[in-house]
Structure 1
């Protein structure tokens, strides 16, 4: 049985748009085939969440935004996310297209490529084609198929062999027009023995209507390379967000995911590491805050194929008012992945009797000579802790704030980027009404 839904664009319009952007024939064909699949495939089966009840129709249409010469031309909410020391390595997407791109001459000289994905398709076609939609494929479900058909703007980052980038590269994706398609795609390739830190932010405001953000991230970490990938999402209440993040790791490769889920609307995200190589390592840290009547579903996965591969996953979520969250942690150790080690922890703190949290740790082990463990908890704020703090002269409001920050601290304190720590703290305070 297929899901009958109205597609946001027809084949003729999609083909004409692709050609108007001078995309190669292989990409036009990729888009049109994906659109056909989208009409046939089901929505993803998401654990304990009926996303078919969400508003998933508002994809809008492609709208080109004008280029800017300086970040000073951006809205204040966007400028506040851009760090001064990262100004020389920055990409900004507004609605359907990238409006600002800058890379330092030093990194250009080292062979680093940091540009929007649409430009990369034209200028680095062979490299893009070899990786694009090979980690997340169009035929997985209706959401991925629609993304492959409609993606726009986006980021392409390539770090050559043995190059270590010692400053973070930053991207900001924002939408202020609900009628514009917003589906950025991030493609990051870290070649052998390279090192890079990439940070991006997603936000929407003043959209004047409901919006679907359908985003995909693909990261390829070659042998001996290390990628630190930090992402913070703070989309508006009118924005429904669907995001897949996936990394493929070769021998002795490392990825560190740092995810801040601070959206105000319904959200589904899936962060997945495929540890293909021997000695590969994945470390995932997720913090989330839900408020209002949000429906949230966060899944973190690690698939071990390589021998002596390791994964760590930590998720901490705070739910207030009538928000509900499903937190899934899935560690899969395949046959032959001897000496693998997979550990995960999911904890949910509920601040209201009407808030809901569900933590689901899952271990799937097909090999004997391995280590694996999990921990999960769901509960209310500890009343004794609150009373103890109040007995020391602290107000109830301040006591609750301290307990919440104490709950999130084990994740936030491990984030090696101080600026990101500060940003997350500000967003947490905003969502908690403090």
Structure 2
């Protein structure tokens, strides 16, 4: 089944598509309103990056995929990303989910883990409370467009006091550039719960060569005393534009840990933001990125402190090769009343080519006196003596660069506590460096 949107901003087309998929009326209305907004609002304006020059119209058309009879049907490169033996898995291909699984033990504890489209039908009242509450549909053209056309996605709900020990995983991939690929991830962790979620967002690069756009949104709600670990690695093809907004609302004594690997081959707009709403709330963000060829990348991390004694730590490390460029923005905002808050951030960019460009912009916005905050940033070329030394030992230039990249990223990678994320990051990093 394939349904073409006449334009991404046409209300009637958005509502018609939603009804054809059997979506509840509240979601049909939301999509229609968002489609109208998408025709009125402007694109986001990230620092020093003109995204309006990118191909932002190739959103594709909805194409419902056939369910997979088994995971053996997945392409080899995609199947290799699935953790061996996992029962807790959602797989999205292009415009919809083709596989969903949850262990009986977790289901018995009230955990919900399925694609978001199914959740909107089966758990509509619960989803409606949170969908587009952390990321508003009227923020800009990107969020409105996403709200109008999102598909597939993931819904994860963890009840109060439930601790999920093993990571829950999603693999979201596209292998048809004409199909829309716009997943929405929604995670709700109730009070004193614990959960780790890991996903890979990838392109079957042998199947996709024409331009496509991946507009994606992540919303995380960490209730009092909860812990949410969120690991996500993006490895989309060179013809794609990846535009992903991530937001977490963190309540009293809750903690959110973000681990983001931006390893795309195409242009990237990545914005990860934690809102420390509660007293004693905590956010930890680690971002790793590698750019090559003529990629343009805008990577932003943000921490907004409202709660007293809230704490944030943000680390970004990016490596730029060839003529790739990266704008790294770190924004720590401490609101008035957030006494005893602490915000720390570090951005480092390593350039392996004279034509590569990197720009690190640490920003502290402090509206309260009784706080601590700090930042560190560095941008520099690789030391040619390092390359010379390695090559003098018989190591090729390509392998020398690879060793230098690993050494530069190692301090961050070594701190990743989730083994599944480290494994997938290593695997997709290898693919990136192999070209």
TM-score range, shorter chain: over 0.9
Aligned to 1:429: 430
Whole-angstrom distance in 2 between the partners of 1:181 and 1:159: 29
- Cα 1:34–1:413 shift into 2, 3 Å: same
Distance 1:20 1:396 in 2: 54
The aligned residue for residue 348 of structure 1 is: 349
C-alpha distance in 2, partners of 1:117/1:409?
35
Match of residue 309 from structure 1: 310
Q: CA deviation at 1:63?
A: 0.5
Could you list the per-position Cα deviations for residues 51-80 of structure 1 after superposition, in whole angstroms to 9, with x for gaps in the alignment?
Answer: 000000111111100011211111111101
Rounded Cα–Cα distance in structure 2 between residues aligned with 1:29 and 1:404: 48
Distance 1:211 1:395, change over 3 A: closer
Aligned to 2:235: 234
Please give the alpha-carbon distance, in whole angstroms, between the structure 1 residues aligned to 2:429 and 2:67: 32
Aligned partner of residue 62 in structure 2, secondary structure: coil
| Greater mean alpha carbon deviation, residues 235-244 or residues 395-404 | 395-404
- Deviation, structure 1 residue 204: 1.3
Point out the more displaced range, 420-429 or 103-112: 420-429
Q: 1:393 to 1:146 in 2, by over 3 A?
A: closer
CA contact (8 A) 2:8 2:38 kept: no
Task: Please tell me whether residue 49 in structure 1 is matched to residue 17 in structure 2.
Answer: no
1:122 Cα offset (Å) = 1.2
In 1, distance between residues paired with 2:263 and 2:107? 33
Q: Closer, same or farther in 2 for the Cα pair 1:397/1:98, shift >3 Å?
A: closer
Rounded Cα–Cα distance in structure 1 between residues aligned with 2:181 and 2:400: 40
5+ residue gaps, structure 2: 1-5
The residue number in structure 1 matching 2:141 is 142
Helix, strand or coil at the partner of 2:406 = helix
SS at match of 1:180: coil
Q: Deviations over 1:21-49 (max 9, x none)?
A: 22221111110011001110011111000
1:126 deviates by 1.2
Question: 2:219 maps to which residue?
Answer: 218
Residue 263 of structure 1: how far off its partner (Å): 0.3
Provide, for residues 344-368 of structure 1, a one-character-per-residue CA deviation record: whole Å limited to 9, x for no partner.
0000000000000000000000001
Q: 1:115 corresponds to which residue?
A: 114
Instruction: Give the match for residue 276 of structure 1.
Output: 277
Alignment of structure 1 residues 229-378 onto 2, 5 Å: 229-378=230-379
Contact 2:9–2:145 (Cα < 8 Å) also in 1? no
Contact 1:386 1:396 in 2 (8 A): yes
Q: Distance in 1 between matches of 2:209 and 2:396?
A: 39
CA–CA distance in structure 2, aligned partners of residues 375 and 313 of structure 1:
10
1:184-203 correspondence to structure 2 within 5 Å? 184-203=183-202
Aligned to 2:101: 102
Q: What displacement does 1:123 show?
A: 1.2
Distance 1:180 1:401 in 2: 34
- For residues 69 and 434 of structure 2, the distance between their equivalents in structure 1, rounded to whole angstroms, comes to 36
- Aligned counterpart, 2:129: 130
CA distance in 2: counterparts of 1:176 and 1:392, whole angstroms: 41
Q: TM-score by structure 2 length? A: 0.95
Following superposition, the deviation at residue 431 of structure 1 comes to 2.5
CA shift at 1:11, angstroms? 2.3
Q: Structure 1 pair 77/370, CA: closer, same or farther in 2 (3 Å)?
A: same
8 Å contact kept, 1:308–1:341:
yes
Where does residue 3 of structure 2 map in the other structure? none
Cα deviation 1:182-230 (Å, max 9, x = unaligned)? 1110000000000000000111121242110000000000000000000
CA distance in 2, matches of 1:181, 1:386: 43
Equivalents in 2 of 1:147, 1:192: separation in Å?
A: 29
> SS at the partner of 1:327?
strand
Q: Within 5 A, what are the aligned runs for 1:382-393?
A: 382-389=383-390
**Structure 2: distance between partners of 1:428 and 1:67:** 29
Structure 1, unmatched stretches of 5+, are: 1-5
User: Equivalents in 2 of 1:179, 1:113: separation in Å?
Assistant: 31
Greater Cα offset, 423-432 or 307-316: 423-432
Aligned mates of 1:312, 1:364 — CA distance in 2 = 15
Superposed CA offset, 1:326-383 (max 9, x none): 0000000000000000000000000000000000000000001000000000001123
SS in 2 for 1:299: strand
Q: C-alpha displacement at 1:399, in angstroms?
A: 4.1
1:103/1:404 CA distance change after superposition, 3 Å: same
Inter-partner Cα distance in structure 2 for 1:189 and 1:354? 44
Check whether the contact 1:171–1:201 (CA below 8 A) recurs between aligned residues.
Answer: yes
2:177 corresponding residue in structure 1 = 178
Of 90-99 and 423-432, the range deviating more from structure 2: 423-432
Q: Could you tell me how far 1:394 is from its partner in structure 2?
A: 5.6
Q: Distance in 2 between matches of 1:40 and 1:398?
A: 49
Q: Is the 8 A contact 1:217 1:246 kept in 2?
A: yes
CA displacement, residues 294-348 of structure 1 (integer Å, 9 cap, x when unaligned): 0100000000000000000000000000100000000000000000000000000
Alpha-carbon displacement from aligned partner over 1:222-255 (angstroms, at most 9, x marks no partner) = 0000000000000000111100000000000000
